Structure 1
Amino acid sequence: MKYPFPKRQLNGLVLGAILAAGQAFAQAQQPAQASATAAACKGTIYLTFDTGSQSQAELIEQTLLRHHIKATFFLANEKTIHGDYSLDPGWQPLWKRLAEEGHAFGTHTFDHVYVVRDLPDGKIEVRPQFGAQAGHKQQWTPAQYCEEMQRVDKRFEALTGRKLDPLWRAPGGKLTPNLLKAGQACGYAHVAWAPAGFSGDELPSDKFPNEMLLKKALNGLKDGDIFLAHMGIWSRQDAWAPAVLEPLITGLEQKGFCFATLRDHPAYRHLFAGAGNTQRRP
């Protein structure tokens, strides 16, 4: 039998057609596979991590990678176990990797600034934990607080080339009416956590052992809950993450839960509408 092409060329054409057909089939299966995965989830948990001593940073990253989980990180420039600060250049490789791995990021204020109270003239009394004014009460305008949140955004972009997501978390989770308005005016949506989503990693180990915290989370977390932990806590003697994070994730997976960043949370996904999970603040 004679072929219109040399045999070698014909074989290449056939192989190319087979590969193209296989690729088309795989692409056609992706929506169905995604739907099947979503259908298999009995609920979604949103893991969030605030900066801290950073003693558990790499462990958290590796655990999330191993389970193919995306989380949301809230960043402040906090003192670390290495004697530097969490947004110093030495931490650039970590933040770049986490960004490339698809995690989401929000601001936790640069100097980890706690709100004290609202003032009558619309100002806010605050107390930074770090920086030049650490431990000293300050009276800030909403614009000054906005600038403080944006300092994280600017540093994150300098370290990673990417913008933060339009999310923030007040240190300690403490809000006042003026503070909430300041965040909204600055373009950030505040993120708290569910009652069952408080990891307890800030609590004393002798009164709240890791076994107790793990059981509380596994029994209490439900669909849509936001979970809070830190990337290391100075005050806790028995570190939370090495003992709890892996069994917590495994236990939730066994219950049928899936995980996502806050970009997919019903309360925040409108902030990313039309831009997928790569949306960043302009």
Structure 2
Amino acid sequence: MSGKGVPWAVGILALFVLGFWLAEAGWQIRLVPNRSVPREWTEYKVRQEPVELSSAYELEGGPERTGRGFPQREILDLASEFPGLVFNQGDPKEKKVALTFDDGPDAVTTVQILDILKEHNVKATFFVIGKRAEVDEAVLKRMADEGHVIGNHTWNHPNLMKLDEARIAEEILKVEELVEKVVGYRPKLFRSPYGSLSRENVKQVANLGCYIIAWNVDSLDWKGLSGEQVRTNILENIRNGAIVLQHSAGGPGEDLSGTVAALPVIITTLKKEGYQFVTVPELLNIPYKKD
């Protein structure tokens, strides 16, 4: 090979390696048709505060997050097999959307999300982890005080398919006791960690008097996506009766700044398009408190 050919070969190889790395990282550029980016997109500043995460934030199952790995097809099958018990969407004839946030509360990301929701007068549904809520009871109380609905996301965030019935009951009932102590009611809405559920699990949760809430729009924010990527994942897939999955807290090293950055834009854009933001029980017309 001539001396002139070496730089070209090196350049081609570098481009190939870069392309492979981007593909592995899951970087995709997708355009949202007919949706301009509101001014808030460039103006909203995400606080980057260091957080010392105690052992209370170390969840079972390691780095997995809700929405990861459990096929959407399985969720649809369960919703079809157990109507009135397992829900993944509202009425497709009504232009309503329910924002949901898993894995909180914490004193940083959850607080930023609550600030944005308050600023835009939007109510959401938070599926909380008991182990975290015990640490941040003040944030849990703020959720309820500001009109948001609290749902149950277990105490330790385990995969229910790996637990026996007694342990599942313990994971759910322990959260109920804490939420009742802090906000005055026992949650009737339940979301399984990772979205993972067997048919037997559905029956076990139902025996505890809970509705199972899945989703049909996934932000994939647990991957540490940018605000633009989170925004695109939601807005490209939004529809009437959507239940949107996002996260309001993460594990050590998990970056949810994209969730916070995208939220004002998502709210502003969907309001302009005529969508009404409601809580999950409002969307599904079901109670959220146990008798």
- TM-score of the two chains, using structure 1 as the length reference: 0.64
Cα gap change, 1:57/1:204 in structure 2, threshold over 3 Å: closer, same or farther?
closer
TM-aligned CA deviation for residue 242 of structure 1:
2.6
Q: Does 1:217 align with 2:234?
A: yes
Out of 171, 174, 177, which is 1:154 matched to? 177
Contact 1:75 1:106 in 2 (8 A): yes
Out of 188, 195, 198, which is 1:176 matched to? 198
Match of 1:99 in 2: 144
Cα gap change, 1:52/1:96 in structure 2, threshold over 3 Å: closer, same or farther?
closer
Q: Does 1:280 align with 2:280?
A: no
| 1:185-225 alpha-carbon deviations (Å, 9 max, x no partner) | 1110101110xx211111144xxx33123123112201100
TM-aligned CA deviation for residue 254 of structure 1:
1.2
| 1:123-160 alpha-carbon deviations (Å, 9 max, x no partner) | xx33xxxxxxxxxxxxx22x441232011010111222
* d(CA) in 2 for partners of 1:144, 1:232: 24
SS in 2 for 1:226: strand
Runs of at least 4 residues off by over 3 Å: 234-238
Cα gap change, 1:238/1:45 in structure 2, threshold over 3 Å: closer, same or farther?
closer
SS in 2 for 1:49: strand
Greater RCO structure (CA 8 Å; 6+ sep):
2
Contact 2:160 2:168 in 1 (8 A): no
Greater Cα radius of gyration, structure 1 or 2: 1
Match of 2:273 in 1: 255
Q: How does 1:235-274 map to 2 (within 5 A)?
A: 235-237=253-255, 239-266=257-284, 269=285, 271-272=286-287
Contact 2:230 2:259 in 1 (8 A): no
* d(CA) in 1 for partners of 2:264, 2:270: 10
Out of 193, 208, 212, which is 2:215 matched to? 193
Contact 2:99 2:245 in 1 (8 A): yes
Aligned partner of 2:212: which letter? H
**C-alpha root-mean-square deviation of aligned residues, in Å?**
2.1
Contact 2:105 2:139 in 1 (8 A): no
* d(CA) in 1 for partners of 2:152, 2:255: 27
Aligned partner of 2:264: which letter? E
Q: Does 1:87 align with 2:133?
A: yes
SS in 1 for 2:220: coil
SS in 2 for 1:217: helix
* d(CA) in 2 for partners of 1:91, 1:227: 24
* d(CA) in 1 for partners of 2:211, 2:230: 28
Match of 2:127 in 1: 74
TM-aligned CA deviation for residue 233 of structure 1:
2.3
Percent of residue pairs bearing the same amino acid type: 27
Aligned partner of 1:175: which letter? L
* d(CA) in 2 for partners of 1:153, 1:42: 31
* d(CA) in 1 for partners of 2:104, 2:179: 16
Structure 1 stretches lacking a partner, 5+ long:
1-40, 79-85, 117-124, 127-139, 273-278
TM-aligned CA deviation for residue 115 of structure 1:
2.5
- TM-score of the two chains, using structure 2 as the length reference: 0.63
Contact 1:42 1:256 in 2 (8 A): no
* d(CA) in 1 for partners of 2:129, 2:160: 15
Contact 1:72 1:103 in 2 (8 A): yes
* d(CA) in 2 for partners of 1:42, 1:155: 35
Aligned partner of 2:259: which letter? A
* d(CA) in 2 for partners of 1:159, 1:220: 35
Q: Does 1:202 align with 2:222?
A: yes
* Equivalenced residues, count: 197
Out of 211, 229, 232, which is 2:246 matched to? 229
Aligned partner of 1:186: which letter? L
TM-aligned CA deviation for residue 232 of structure 1:
2.3
